[in-house]
Chain A
């Protein structure tokens, strides 16, 4: 056990855990940030995607020690009022079915939109291939990303 200092969604936390504990379980079990989901534990489904220093990482295979002292953003901190262009678009398109994978989808899409403000279908497919939606809402996710790009452009 060791104390690890974390900065999550702008807030400082100190957690006393084995440094090899995946960030996912620190978020879920220790900090009650359960929007980040467990789906596979082997970086294969994308349900656990968070931002580490602005990059999309799979928190299920990211040791908490790697996040020490760095900026972590989870779905709970993506926007203050749940109104990030992606959240607005997801709501307008009414994307979710069960909803379990959607926070990971949105966190992956957020990095895509920052890097490519107006992605094509092919760019979306490439960026989102790591995120499984077992309900099959892929068409709506694609549509919502395009819509979020429009909303983002209007804001700018």
Chain B
């Protein structure tokens, strides 16, 4: 057992509860553990007793656990309550789960992103669970007049062995709620875990499979109107004027006007990112009517001059101009040849390159990508004179609440942001411009509205994965030994470089440089930001380098990792070489690496990002000259796995996503216009292109859990590229690979 200081203080909780004014509403009917066969809903308790921010216990023993973080398919609504349930020592069948509203005073960080949900919640939720358990124990000890240390718990039951006294948690819930919060509590030993490490089915699965209203787009209130925006058709254009004479007479249309979603005086934060700040808005009774009027609205656009704004207290600018992919490529190529900003330099790389017998140099590129979450951007808002309520998909309410408050001219405590289940996110919904737009529209109309983006609106509205380029160089001596390593990486508009990642630390002479080119095309985090490209480039290059040196690609990586482990170069290496090597060794064993089946072409890749280590081996076959990934074996070190089957599901999905984006994903531009606006032209991976088998293996250890949403995504690209090389004899440097394949 581990003793921890308790920081789930009752005082702050009570204060926070008063602020909320009873905003928490219970929505549930099925217990968490219910299977298809168990048709009986749990009896709703007559009274709940709150033991802390996350835990309520009914007099009948039913336990309600709050999921603090927004759910977008990573299964936090199940996995986070499992952590609470573990330390509380309850039977999962007696649990109901509620989604928390945005309420940071009570729940702390409520952010879904960066693969941080489980990692960030692990310690606070264990402590909260253990604290509530201890309060129940203390309440029973007082009543039974026995020492608390003699009371044990199991599956929601308190037991005093010596006297034979026994009671369910429900019987002591009322008394426990009055116990002062203990200053220190004991946490379970890892090998005593019963719920953490098991597989628990998604608590929302029944509602999903029967079409219940779970998503923002499903939300409706009495008198709610539908709002749609018309944004500029190209980056670099802005609103000039509109003619609504036809549109405003169309059936069901209530109002047509323009809004400025962000005014110039607002100091933006990174997650306020938005491509367009002035919109035409069409509001009406139903979605279809608004869509028709939107088409009939005539808007004139004009070229926008350089736009300046404040971000984090500093001046920021969007350059003017209508950009094209062709121009981007030319600019990036130019910068690969000019010196960048040096981010890390070990030894004397320049001299080592001069002394080299051979230099291998390769450049890799990747295009802009759209996130394409299945549920388009939307948000409900009802803003009145003295309060605002929002309900919609957002990964990061905390990042938007300040801006929202400033833009509405309303204090934060008057703004309630409720967290809808999200139909995917992939980073796109970390940016909350749609919450602001919805609120500003509602404030203007003084009516409840639901803002709805069409698929086309969303795909052409920005916040994309940036386009990137990276040039790798390796210096070899006459014996084919590695002398020096050089990476120079940049992008539009940001550099993807992680200077202290592998193979930094494994090579005496090392140089990392970055560069960036400004753009008015807005970008944002996309599943494993920056890593999704750096992994592709680096792991493709290491594969080619291993071949050049006559080494097996796994052996070569392990040799470098051995060096980084036993005699690391530099102090700032941000990875654990032993854990890195661990996933490579595991994937090698599980895949029978050396025994490639006939007709199969294998590629390996491994990467560390978002605190987890993942190695993957792709088995690819060629059918009618087209590649098909048949099988993927993954080895993952994310510490303790909380919900095993859910973690496997995440890895499977990330791998399918990676295969799809590596082969097909791209959003090209011409004169500022995104050249794809729907799934008819933007190719997403489909069932027939998905692997038949994905084997996921976890490293068993007792490390605190780390992320699963992003780490399995990053390595896929290079594993596919390396397998494609073995299939075709040709290296693939530019994503999406299908374009290179077609042009060869």
Q: Chain A interface (Cβ within 8 Å of chain B)? A: 1, 17-18, 21-22, 25, 28-30, 32-42, 44-45, 47, 74-76, 81-83, 87-88, 90-92, 94, 96-103, 106, 121, 124-126, 128-142
Contact = CB atoms under 8 A, between A and B. Distances in A.
Contacts of B692: 121, 139
B374 A134 contact: yes
Contact of A101 (B217, B374, B693): B374
A37 B214 CA distance: 11
A143 B73 CA distance: 19
B654 interface: yes
Given A18-B251, A97-B75, A132-B679, A36 B687 contact: no
B687 A124 contact: yes
A98 B212 contact: no
Given A41-B455, A97-B73, A136 B657 contact: yes
Interface in B6-47: 35-36, 39
Q: Which A-B residue pairs are the 8 nearest by beta carbons?
A: A35-B211, A136-B656, A100-B423, A98-B73, A97-B73, A99-B208, A136-B653, A75-B211
Interface of B: 35-36, 39, 72-75, 199, 201-202, 204-206, 208-215, 217-218, 220, 226, 251, 286-289, 372-376, 421-426, 454-456, 645-646, 649-650, 652-657, 660, 678-680, 684-688, 690-694
Given A103-B208, A139-B691, 8 more contacts: A25-B286, A38-B376, A76-B210, A83-B36, A91-B206, A103-B211, A129-B686, A135-B653
A137 B649 contact: yes
Task: Name B's interface SS.
Answer: loop
B73 A96 contact: yes
B209 A87 contact: yes
A40 B214 contact: no
A40 B686 contact: no
Contact of A138 (B36, B74, B656): B656
B210 A40 contact: no
6 contacts: A18-B289, A35-B212, A47-B374, A91-B205, A91-B206, A138-B656
Contacts of B454: 41
Nearest to B680: A44
B175 to A, nearest CB: 38
B210 A132 contact: no
A35 B212 CA distance: 6
A32 B657 CA distance: 32
A101 B208 CA distance: 9
A37 B374 contact: yes
Contacts of B209: 75, 82, 87, 90-91, 96, 102-103, 106
Nearest to B452: A38
A42 B376 CA distance: 14
A130 B226 CA distance: 29
A151 to B, nearest CB: 10
Contacts of A92: 35-36
Contact of A40 (B455, B655, B688, B693): B455
Contacts of A91: 35-36, 201, 205-206, 209
Contacts of A39: 374-376, 455, 679
Contacts of B199: 94
A74 B288 contact: no
A22 B687 contact: no
Contact of B374 (A17, A34, A45, A76): A45
B254 to A, nearest CB: 14
Given A99-B214, A134-B373, A28 B39 contact: no
Nearest to A106: B209
A40 B374 CA distance: 8
Contacts of B372: 134
Contacts of B688: 125-126, 128-129
B647 to A, nearest CB: 12
A44 to B, nearest CB: 4
A97 B650 contact: yes
A17 B285 CA distance: 12
Contacts, number: 197
A103 B289 CA distance: 25
A99 B650 contact: no
Contact of A1 (B204, B213, B251, B374): B251
Nearest to B285: A29
Contacts of A37: 215, 217, 374-375, 423
Nearest to B210: A82
Contact of B210 (A47, A87, A137, A140): A87
A81 B423 CA distance: 24
A32 B692 CA distance: 37
Nearest to B654: A136
A32 B75 CA distance: 26
Contacts of B73: 96-99, 135
A136 B713 CA distance: 11
Given A40-B455, A91-B36, A134-B372, A139 B694 contact: yes
Given A18-B251, A34-B213, A139 B656 contact: yes
A29 to B, nearest CB: 4
Contacts of B211: 33-36, 74-76, 103
B652 A132 contact: no
A131 B374 CA distance: 11
A149 to B, nearest CB: 16
A25 to B, nearest CB: 4
A83 B679 CA distance: 32
Contacts of A130: 686
A90 B205 contact: yes
Contacts of B75: 97
A56 to B, nearest CB: 15
B424 A135 contact: yes
A66 to B, nearest CB: 15
A34 B216 CA distance: 11
A21 B655 contact: no
A132 B72 contact: no
A4 to B, nearest CB: 13
Contacts of A44: 678-680
A22 B287 CA distance: 10
A33 B209 CA distance: 13
A100 B649 contact: no
A138 B288 contact: no
B220 A32 contact: yes
B687 A98 contact: no
A45 B657 CA distance: 16
| Most chain B beta-carbon contacts within 10 A, residue among A90, A97, A136, A141 | A136
Contacts of A40: 455, 678-680
Most buried by A among B208, B286, B423, B686: B208
Contact of B649 (A18, A30, A82, A94): A94
Contacts of B455: 39-42
Contacts of A90: 205, 209
B202 to A, nearest CB: 6
Contacts of A28: 218, 287
Nearest to A125: B688
A67 B456 CA distance: 26
A76 B226 CA distance: 24
A92 to B, nearest CB: 7
Nearest to A131: B687
Contacts of A140: 649, 652
A47 B218 CA distance: 13
Contacts of A128: 686-688
Contacts of B214: 99
Nearest to A86: B209
B346 to A, nearest CB: 38
A113 to B, nearest CB: 15
Nearest to A124: B687
A28 B455 CA distance: 17
A101 B691 CA distance: 19
B33 to A, nearest CB: 12
Nearest to A84: B209
Contacts of B653: 97, 135-137
Contacts of A141: 687
Contacts of B213: 34
